[in-house]
Amino acid sequence: MPEGSRRWLWRGVVVLFLTFALLLLYALWLLGPTGKEALVRIPKGARGAEVARILEEAGLLRSGYLFFRLPEVFGKGQAPGPRGLPPEGRGPSAWPGPSRAGKGP
């Protein structure tokens, strides 16, 4: 590989790395503490998007959208239903491990 091509390749790698690092730092800043304190009322049965909107309006979050979408990014998008019940349409066998009755799944 000619010396000029190698130099351009390294520059491209460095630019790509710096871009990724800056995006990561920006995302961490968006999710970081705002330094504000507030007392908020979350209505019973409120969905994740509603909770994120309430917290963002109170100044407790910089990005309600990122807060709401973060579980999907890390593979935890299917949250349990109300009071820790399995998601709708799935029985007790939806939970990993032995069933609640002590019998096998």
What value does the mean pLDDT take over residues 58-66? Answer: 87
Ramachandran area for residue 84 (φ above 0: left; ψ -120 to 50: alpha; else beta): left
Angle, helices 64-73 vs 48-57, to 10°: value is: 140
What pLDDT, in 10s, does the model give residues 15-49? 999 999 999 999 888 878 888 888 999 999 998 88
Q: Burial of 83 by CB count in 10 Å (0-12 exposed, 13-18 middle, 19+ buried)?
A: exposed
Which of 3-12, 52-61, 86-95 shows the lowest per-residue confidence on average (mean pLDDT)?
Answer: 86-95
Residues 6+ apart with CB under 8 A from 38: 58, 59, 60
Q: How many residues does the chain have?
A: 105
What pLDDT, in 10s, does the model give residues 75-99? 665 554 455 555 555 555 555 555 4
